[in-house]
Structure 1
Amino acid sequence: MWVSTQVRFFWAIAWIFPEMRGTLKLETHNVYLARGTKMDDRAMKFVITETQELDGGQQQVWEAVKTSFSDRDCIVYWRYPLFSKVGEQRKEPDIVIVDREWGIVAIEICAAAIAQITQINEAGDWEFSADFPFSGQPYPLAEHHLRAIIGLCDRDPSLWRKVTGRALIVLPSIPEAQWQERGFHQHPHSPPILFQDRFDTLPDLIKHLDPLVPGEGLNDEQWTKLLIAVSGTSILKKSSQPRIASSNKNRAAVVELLREHLYELDLKQEHIGKEIAPGVQRIRGIAGSGKTVLLCQKAAHMHLKHPDWDIALVFFTRSLYDQIISLIDRWVRRFSNGELSYDPQTNPKLRVLHAWGASNRPGLYSTLCKTLNVRRKTVNDTTHKQPTRSLAEFCKWLLEEREIEPVFDAILIDEGQDLVTNNDLKYLDKQAIYWLAYQALRPVDREHPEQRRLVWAYDEAQSLDSLQIPTAKELFGEEFGDLLSKGNYPGGIKKSEVMRRCYRTPGTILMAAHAIGMGLLRPQGMLAGITQKDGWEKLGYEVTGSFQKVGQKIVISRPQENSPNCIEELWEEPVFEFTAYDSRSQELEALAQKISSNIGDDGLKPSREILVVVLGASEEAVELETKVAQFLIDRGLKVYVPTALELDRINPKHPDNDPDRFWMEGGVTVSRISRAKGNEADLVYVVGCDRVARTESDLALRNQLFVALTRSRGWVNLSGVGNYPLYEEINQVLAMGSTITFTYQRPLQRDLDRD
């Protein structure tokens, strides 16, 4: 579901020009699109969070619900992740239906046979025989879950007391005649029940059921907000910021509008974030698709669902520590209805681990070293002096010299492309870091010891070091390369997911980043590329043209639903600008003037809303980072260089630094690309394009440019010095606007369609 471009534009005008709000009358019944009308959406709207729990009777109930609601405007969850305290445990509702017409329906399944219900007492409490382990009372439990979900919805003022709520019990082992033979139907407190032989009457039962929670009919906007509230994406909404600006129509106004309206229900994300696969799972997502958010959601759900599990969420960019911990905390609070929070210092069962670890921060590698009683090594202990290759070397050594003890039940890996190295550091034919993580996992069950809960998310276009793509065969070798085969696990959870919708980066910027990063318009031929129509579609593109023969014209474009950031409709000027200067001093003078205007005239905050990224190989990137930061300081701007303990501190070094810090209030962050990965800002300045242009055939440098451009939530300003062929290539890409036309050739270095 998404909101039409025209309506987003009207919202923007009404927000930027308050005096016009009364003159804009929106016909909301035409505003919301794609509400479950496509055949693929019919299956997607049924979210099953964990398949291993479905026994025969529960499976029958679930299938009956799917049949009854397949054509309705709704979303349905098996075990919706809202964990309420039931005795000493926390339990989620069995089935939750969120229906446009009927509101929210909570269903509790009681699988007891008729003989196992010994009596229903005067108060209406069900009593069970000792051989039926049911905790609590079915209908009060369903009512409790319903009121908890309604309470979440009521936090939105536009939904307060608007959402209707119903609850019922399903008895999959008891036909109606047996119930009546016992006389239970005559009890004055008899709740609404769906019996084993009446599954086909479920819609009728719900329709005529008196609501437990009365509500009102929902308009289109309220229905969309209800879906957002139920999905939980509302917790990601950024709070509005106080602004001081010289005009009403400025960047700050557009930023506030985007923060207000960019959150919506995404059925693909609902499945990925809330499903717990009974084995390995791969998540391939383009930049800005929400991979980190979903892994944090999945980790929080696993933790509350299985508090006895040992879970690790692993990542590579140290500046993501605070972001990941904050996201997990928000999801834990959400899924526990505010009763629990997450603190990594006091929670040993869910661990946030950098791939390496440090003396004061445990990581995956250092944790396993401690388990094996092996001294942890650092980058300084190897000749590679490159973090990924050094880590792979030490992981390979551990695998060769030690028997790895399984200590985790689930490992989730973010930034998966950064943990892959070239073939010389493989363990046998496996990627050493991944194979170590796999070996550190307990098998899901004894019958299938090869299945272990290793989940990895990646975007191969963001790899800064290796050109290897983290497919199952690449990671686990020939022997275990089929772990992702056969598509789905029993019950329907997918082994491999593709995220094609980019929420962060505007479509024009994302398209340009892909075209420049791959070299699609490069005269000598593309360096990297996708060689099949299906591959482009998996990235969210529409494609015309044939890949059957070299030399064919290909046209790609991004439909609005896959790039819902509508800033291009709200801003009269280009969102992507490229300028080549005669000298570095000219480039930096222009940079300083623009940032001063962004803060003073546009009302943007220096920290988190403006970001400066410098390009180049490691040593020259450090040199350029220093030069840019010092120049901006000399021009009176407050600057933050990542890891520093204070503003305007250049070249921070151990021990007077904080390796995990990327932002500081009041200062514009100036960063190399290695630290900027995973972070984002509304306006991104990318400095030093000449560092890429000098050796434009270096795909790793082009990937730097791709990563830098896709840090943007709104605008990009790319600059460099001199005159290079790459600059003409960039200008050609920008001139094409909303479509990119290129001549198909086999990629010279990297085929991104490898699977």
Structure 2
Amino acid sequence: LAVITGSQGIQSKKRRPTKNKNSKAAFLRKVEEKIKSFDIQQHKVAVQTPAGPQRIRGLAGTGKTVVLAQKAAYMHVKHPDWSIVYTFYSRSLYEQIINYITRFVQEFSRGELEKPNWDKIQILHAWGGSQQSGLYQQLTATMNTDFRNFKNAISYFGTSSGRVAFNGCCGELLEHENEIPEFFDAILIDEAQDFGENYFRLCYNLLKQPKRIIWGYDELQSLEELDIPTAESLFGKNIDGNPLVSLDGVYPGEIEKDMILYHCYRNPRPVLIAAHAFGLGLRRIGGAVQFINTVGGWQDIGYEVEQVNSNELITGQEITLYRPKSNSPHLLEELVGYHNLIQYQNFENRGQELEWMINDIEKNIKEEELKPDEIAIIALDSRKKIAEQEYDYLYKGLENKKIQSVRIGTDTSADIFRSQGCVTITSVFRAKGNEASVVYVYGFENIAKSSDIVRQRNMAFTAMTRTKGWLTITGVGEQSKLLFREIQGILEEIGRVKFIVPDMNKIQRNLETYENQRRRKRTQKAQKSLAQLLKDRADVNPEDLPLDQRKKLLKWVLGNDKDIDSLLSDK
């Protein structure tokens, strides 16, 4: 596919040769030497330009950020006069997005463009502040309205939640909806689960027709909101009472309004399965806290459901989820072994835990030949004062080992996740959307301490899925031991998780929606039609099909970026 489409995906810089053929660096070298290219589904999504709103969903590691960056770059190359915005909440994504879009613009222009025209394609933090401009900040200036920074908004709206405060800020601008200018031809929103409905509505109003708003979404990485928003709840209704945005059906060119990515490329299979099952609580002693209660829902995200005869899962039934290797095609599992990519360490106190991590990081650098900037430490305790003290301990401890590190937002800009030659020390919130070859998630006992079980489990899921290689989880006391046993139970059988279907009346969050079910029915209907077409193909001469139908079929199979007319004229 890479040769046919010219899409090489994300290529890493060539890794230096290693001394030890069995070091982690040596295994990563083998992984990186394997050509990385997007699958047909990803390429198809990347080169589509929808004639209106489009949602792209997928678990962590399925490539949502890369696909959104490709879409932005593709539109910029094909429509250089368009005004395009790529926006997000986590500031540490900023540098990564610039690099992605620059690289993809070079690729799609076949080297004719060295860099994007940054006047036409803007990468903007949603909020903005003194160090970095943001979409909301720019709009307040345009509308001659007071800009509320984070501190002011938290105080004004009487909340400790940045999400709630920002939603309030956007709501204030929407009170003057008629004054919002239609500036842009396309807006792409990454990590869209971080935003409330008012930011979506603000972006919608900023767009020219046909309101080309494209958002990437993963409900399991929502760290503050329990409800799964539908398009109607995000964008509201028009004056006639009809939804402003519907994700039913397709756009011209057979471009789907609602896309799901189910192949996971970042995380090795055991990491994704462990993080996902733990996040939902499938093997939790008290039962699951989040759940998908249909076979189709699990298939959407790359699982097979075994021992089941109907689409709806029945309370009390023992079932087995299986994730095929083809949906998590990561070479490390084959090189290292399924059970050798995650380790757990329990300690009597935090001091022992931090000291052990410092020593283990030294071992990873000296013996495993990893570079410091391939390593990230993620804290699960979000209390600012405690986190700062622990970050300081880690920073000084690594410094004593002559290992450089950076505390995001303290030693470096909050816009940068990875600094060359430095271990990254950060919180879950600033780690979102980023990755490292080796990830340490510490303070795991905090997952059991909060009454907000779903939020804590989502934090664990987000932190665990930052690794593209090895994962180390550490904690203190009996609570972390119990949580580690839960994860070990999840990973007992390679690629499979056995559990009891929970009572849907008792879970805290249902991840299945009517929107998803409708999409699945449309897909099943299309598959039946295609199966019938293939069955009847012996009686049909393609030359007898009308030209417009042949063009539509070729565009659907090959993608909208292909010159179909020249393909047909060659025949």
Compute the displacement of 1:274 (Å). 0.2
Paired position in structure 2 for 1:87: none
Whole-angstrom distance in 1 between the partners of 2:371 and 2:129:
32
Paired position in structure 2 for 1:476: 235
Question: What is the 5 A alignment of 1:180-219?
Answer: none
Whole-angstrom distance in 2 between the partners of 1:475 and 1:722:
42
1:688 and 2:443 matched: yes
Secondary structure of 2:474 counterpart: strand
Whole-angstrom distance in 2 between the partners of 1:262 and 1:701:
37
AA aligned to 1:289 is T
Paired position in structure 2 for 1:229: 3
Query: Of 138, 146, 158, which aligns to 1:375?
Result: 146
Paired position in structure 2 for 1:441: 207
Compute the displacement of 1:680 (Å). 0.5
Paired position in structure 2 for 1:200: none
RMSD: 1.9
Whole-angstrom distance in 2 between the partners of 1:272 and 1:362:
29
Paired position in structure 2 for 1:539: 301
AA aligned to 1:626 is D
Whole-angstrom distance in 1 between the partners of 2:305 and 2:242:
34
Question: What is the 5 A alignment of 1:98-137?
Answer: none
Paired position in structure 2 for 1:417: 193
Query: Of 86, 105, 120, which aligns to 1:313?
Result: 86
TM-score (norm 1): 0.63
Query: Of 222, 238, 258, which aligns to 2:12?
Result: 238
Paired position in structure 2 for 1:366: 137
1:582 and 2:348 matched: yes
Compute the displacement of 1:486 (Å). 3.4
AA aligned to 1:700 is R
Compute the displacement of 1:460 (Å). 0.7
Q: 8 Å contact 1:528–1:749 — kept in the other structure? A: yes
Secondary structure of 2:251 counterpart: coil
AA aligned to 1:259 is E
Whole-angstrom distance in 2 between the partners of 1:401 and 1:493:
34
Whole-angstrom distance in 2 between the partners of 1:483 and 1:256:
45
Compute the displacement of 1:697 (Å). 5.2
Whole-angstrom distance in 2 between the partners of 1:264 and 1:553:
38
Whole-angstrom distance in 2 between the partners of 1:750 and 1:537:
19
Per-residue CA deviations over 1:591-639 (Å, capped at 9, x if unaligned) read 12211111111111110x1111111234244443333333333444322
Compute the displacement of 1:481 (Å). 3.7
AA aligned to 2:193 is Q
Query: Of 397, 414, 426, which aligns to 1:659?
Result: 414
For structure 1, which segment, 251-260 or 579-588, has the greater mean C-alpha deviation from structure 2 after superposition? 579-588
Paired position in structure 2 for 1:390: 165
Per-residue CA deviations over 1:205-235 (Å, capped at 9, x if unaligned) read xxxxxxxxxxxxxxxxxxxxxx213434425
Paired position in structure 2 for 1:700: 455
Paired position in structure 1 for 2:396: 630
For structure 1, which segment, 409-418 or 465-474, has the greater mean C-alpha deviation from structure 2 after superposition? 465-474
Whole-angstrom distance in 2 between the partners of 1:734 and 1:622:
33
AA aligned to 1:237 is Q
> Larger Cα Rg: Structure 1 or Structure 2?
1
AA aligned to 1:710 is T
AA aligned to 1:326 is N
Whole-angstrom distance in 2 between the partners of 1:630 and 1:386:
31
Compute the displacement of 1:361 (Å). 2.6
Per-residue CA deviations over 1:318-352 (Å, capped at 9, x if unaligned) read 11111111111111111112121335xx6211111
Paired position in structure 2 for 1:733: 490
1:517 and 2:259 matched: no
Q: Which structure's residues are more often helix, by fraction?
A: 2
Query: Of 467, 470, 474, which aligns to 1:715?
Result: 470
AA aligned to 1:521 is R
Compute the displacement of 1:727 (Å). 3.4
Query: Of 476, 485, 490, which aligns to 2:252?
Result: 490
Query: Of 462, 468, 489, which aligns to 2:221?
Result: 462
Whole-angstrom distance in 1 between the partners of 2:242 and 2:31:
44
Paired position in structure 1 for 2:560: none
Paired position in structure 2 for 1:597: 363
Whole-angstrom distance in 2 between the partners of 1:463 and 1:555:
26
Secondary structure of 2:365 counterpart: helix
For structure 1, which segment, 494-503 or 578-587, has the greater mean C-alpha deviation from structure 2 after superposition? 578-587
Whole-angstrom distance in 1 between the partners of 2:421 and 2:252:
52
AA aligned to 2:314 is K
Paired position in structure 1 for 2:330: 565
Residues 618 and 471 of structure 1: is their aligned pair in 2 closer, same or farther, counting only changes over 3 Å? Answer: farther
Paired position in structure 2 for 1:102: none
Paired position in structure 2 for 1:292: 65
Whole-angstrom distance in 2 between the partners of 1:629 and 1:230:
47
Number of residue-to-residue matches in the alignment: 497
1:405 and 2:181 matched: yes
Paired position in structure 1 for 2:510: 751
Whole-angstrom distance in 1 between the partners of 2:291 and 2:119:
43
Residues 481 and 596 of structure 1: is their aligned pair in 2 closer, same or farther, counting only changes over 3 Å? Answer: same
1:324 and 2:94 matched: no
Whole-angstrom distance in 2 between the partners of 1:232 and 1:627:
47
What residue ranges of structure 2 are gaps of 5+ in the alignment?
Answer: 516-571
Q: 8 Å contact 2:9–2:36 — kept in the other structure? A: no
Secondary structure of 1:735 counterpart: coil
Secondary structure of 2:492 counterpart: helix
Paired position in structure 1 for 2:550: none
Whole-angstrom distance in 2 between the partners of 1:694 and 1:736:
29
AA aligned to 1:595 is I
Whole-angstrom distance in 2 between the partners of 1:388 and 1:703:
16
1:270 and 2:43 matched: yes
1:357 and 2:357 matched: no
Paired position in structure 2 for 1:14: none
Paired position in structure 1 for 2:316: 551
Residues 517 and 740 of structure 1: is their aligned pair in 2 closer, same or farther, counting only changes over 3 Å? Answer: same
Per-residue CA deviations over 1:352-395 (Å, capped at 9, x if unaligned) read 11111123432111122122121221111122243222111010
Whole-angstrom distance in 2 between the partners of 1:622 and 1:701:
20
What residue ranges of structure 1 are gaps of 5+ in the alignment?
Answer: 1-226, 421-430, 445-451, 646-656
Residues 411 and 476 of structure 1: is their aligned pair in 2 closer, same or farther, counting only changes over 3 Å? Answer: same
Name the structure, 1 or 2, with higher relative contact order (CA <8 Å, separation 6+): 2
Q: 8 Å contact 1:262–1:503 — kept in the other structure? A: no
Paired position in structure 1 for 2:523: none
Per-residue CA deviations over 1:702-749 (Å, capped at 9, x if unaligned) read 111101110111110101010024333223223344210110012621
